Structure 1
Amino acid sequence: MGNKRKHSEAEAAVDVKKDDSAPERPKRTLLGFKNSDEDKKENDSFRVGFRNKEKVLVTCSRRISFRYRHLMLNLVDLLPHCKKDNKVESKESKGTALNELVELKSCSSCLFFECRKGKDLYLWMAKCPNGPSVKFLVNAVHTMEELKLTGNHLKGSRPILTFSSNFDKSPHWKLLKEMISQIFGTPKDHRKSKPYHDHVFVFSIADDHIWFRNYQISCPHGGAQKLDRGDLEKMTLVEVGPRFCLNPIKIFGGSFGGPTLYENPFYVSPNQIRSLDKRQKAGKYAKKVKAKTRRKMHELENPLEVDEFADMWNE
């Protein structure tokens, strides 16, 4: 039989076991376990940070042509954080209807393609519901179906936005740069986006117009997971499409209206251009009519002399 431990030694052994054991569980409540104040502070410190929740509503007006509708669908494919909606009637009160749609879709921005006379395409780019908003005239439209370029990139991947140095020269270009970067930039960790950067959106200014291009980042590598530095230097850009040109008309302080912040002094509406072409064509016809009348008057004033041998062969 072994010797029994004393009562004091047994208590010391129990104390050692208590110290080595796991920490005590927090108090249980109806809503779960109640954490201490220190744990709450640590959780709050992790939650602090900016999360981009940008969502864009993309819609168009009624009676839009097929080319412009294809351009809109191409942009929808390029922007995974956008939402589509039904067509809206392009009237004077379209701003209120679009603001309501943006609020119902829980979006913060809107791209509205407005087609007039089946020929002219206007693009409204607005931050809802407080503004600002910009009205563009869209020119030089080329969709992906028309171009048939060799470039290709993953659908839903996040693009890299690049801007030319002209955007930093005047305040209205700075405002447009900020709006474009917010609307066309895909938020990080978006549920429909892929965690890759395999294409580039290029916005450049030439002749007071914004030109848009989409390029694929093509990088040749030997099949390894990691790329060598030499491979990165050989990276090239292959155009994917679509192409279009934006001519800014006006910048408004509100959403689809409000005070005018900027107006393009070099803008000429397409209606004026078509009227000038008709006047030039009408001028050509008027010149022909005047030339005919002058010829007739000249023949009457200067008649030809009678030919003596004109009736010789009639006999």
Structure 2
Amino acid sequence: MESSEAVSVDAATGQKSRTVGPRKRKRGKAHTSSKKPAIDPVDHETNDAPETKKVKRWKNKQRVLVFCARGVTFRARHLMNDLRMLLPHSRSDTKLDRKDKLPAINEVCEMKNCRKCIFFEMKKKKDLYMWLSNVPNGPSFKFLVENVHTMDELKLTGNCLIGSRPLLSFDQSFTEAPHNELLKNLLTQIFSTPYYHPKSKPFVDHVFHFEILDGKIWFRNYQITDSGGLTEIGPRFVLNLIKVFEGSFGGATLYENPSYVTPNAHRRLMKADAVHKYKKRVDARRSLAERRQEEEEGINVDPLDDIFNNA
């Protein structure tokens, strides 16, 4: 604190006297010196600071919603669970109510932050259908799923790590038609695991194989062994393409399979063939009985009985 002077007058003598006292501190900004402290120069060549590692980022945040509608059988539910296990970037949701229409799936995908969708629905507890869609702009593919065999059912010797990244193998037939090329791109986006996904592992130990045979798409999953061979893991299923739609779960029809036969028509043909086979078997039995009867009648007839009738 700084000192301050005070002047006082003596009444008797009339002399003035000064007393020095502490001065009051002025309010305001503190006085700072303009001199900067000296900084020791740092030798960057001899600095042993650890280098920061670059964190690999997850850029392709592609998610696939895999769920089904109410009324599916246990086999379809097990197939859906197998696909969820094989796709670490998949998400699940509760079953869709039968009263809800298919375009409502776009809203479910938006809430789950998914851009791709695999949807299963079943009719008459017999016919399983699969939808592959690019949400929300399309296109979407509708398939009839045939010859379904799950991993628990097959019990094959192949095995792979949960969350490992797969290789995708496509038949050369996927490049012959425009709708097959479009389907190949959609299958690649759905079944390929994004780089550096949090739930994925940096291993490639199995192969997803898609092949077009007899106008249908056959799916197989193989393990890559240490010797470079392939061992099947499962599941197995066959996709019979029905239609290709412009939008997601609806819209204009871009392609319709001309060789597709509905399951009802197929069962009707099978019944007709069974009835035709039954008729042929009944006719064969009847003709055999008639021939045997004619042979028996021919044996019992005596040729001499008609000798005197001619006269």
Q: Structure 1: which amino acid aligns with 2:220? A: R
Of 107, 112, 115, which residue of structure 2 is paired with 1:105?
A: 112
**Greater gyration radius:** 2
**1:117-136 alignment runs, 5 A limit:** 117-136=124-143
Structure 2 partner of 1:188: 195
1:208 aligns with 2:229: no
1-structure distance, mates of 2:286, 2:207 = 63
Report if the CA contact (8 A) 2:179-2:255 is conserved.
yes
SS of residue matched to 1:187: coil
Structure 1 partner of 2:15: none
Report if the CA contact (8 A) 2:118-2:130 is conserved.
yes
**1:210-289 alignment runs, 5 A limit:** 210-219=217-226, 234-286=227-279
> How far did residue 104 of structure 1 move?
1.1
Q: Which moved more, 1:72-81 or 1:161-170?
A: 161-170
1-structure distance, mates of 2:109, 2:229 = 38
Q: Structure 2: which amino acid aligns with 1:85? A: D
> How far did residue 282 of structure 1 move?
3.0
1-structure distance, mates of 2:301, 2:189 = 87
CA deviations on 1:215-246 (whole Å, 9 max, x unpaired) are 11111xxxxxxxxxxxxxx4111111111111
1-structure distance, mates of 2:291, 2:211 = 59
> How far did residue 89 of structure 1 move?
3.2
More helix by share: 1
Identity %: 52
TM-score (norm 2): 0.73
Q: Structure 2: which amino acid aligns with 1:186? A: T
2-structure distance, mates of 1:239, 1:296 = 54
1-structure distance, mates of 2:254, 2:120 = 21
Structure 2 partner of 1:36: none
SS of residue matched to 1:216: strand
Report if the CA contact (8 A) 1:95-1:255 is conserved.
no
2-structure distance, mates of 1:261, 1:190 = 34
1:172 aligns with 2:165: no
Report if the CA contact (8 A) 1:63-1:115 is conserved.
yes
1:69 aligns with 2:56: no
Of 154, 157, 181, which residue of structure 2 is paired with 1:147?
A: 154
2-structure distance, mates of 1:155, 1:291 = 59
Q: Could you say if the C-alpha distance between residues 90 and 184 of structure 1 is closer, same or farther in structure 2, counting changes exceeding 3 Å?
A: farther
Structure 2 partner of 1:87: 95
Please list every run of 5 or more consecutive structure 2 residues that lacks an aligned counterpart in the other structure. Answer: 1-34, 45-53, 303-311
How many aligned positions are there? Answer: 256
Runs of 4 or more, structure 1, over 2 Å off, are: 17-23, 280-299, 304-308
Of 156, 159, 162, which residue of structure 1 is paired with 2:169?
A: 162
Structure 2 partner of 1:4: none
Q: Which moved more, 1:93-102 or 1:68-77?
A: 93-102
Report if the CA contact (8 A) 1:88-1:94 is conserved.
no
> How far did residue 274 of structure 1 move?
0.3
What's the C-alpha RMSD, in Å, of the aligned pairs? 3.3
SS of residue matched to 2:196: coil
> How far did residue 267 of structure 1 move?
0.7
1:56 aligns with 2:64: yes
SS of residue matched to 2:246: strand
> How far did residue 281 of structure 1 move?
2.6
CA deviations on 1:39-98 (whole Å, 9 max, x unpaired) are xxxxxxx99x9921111111112121111111111111001111111111346x522221
> How far did residue 288 of structure 1 move?
6.5
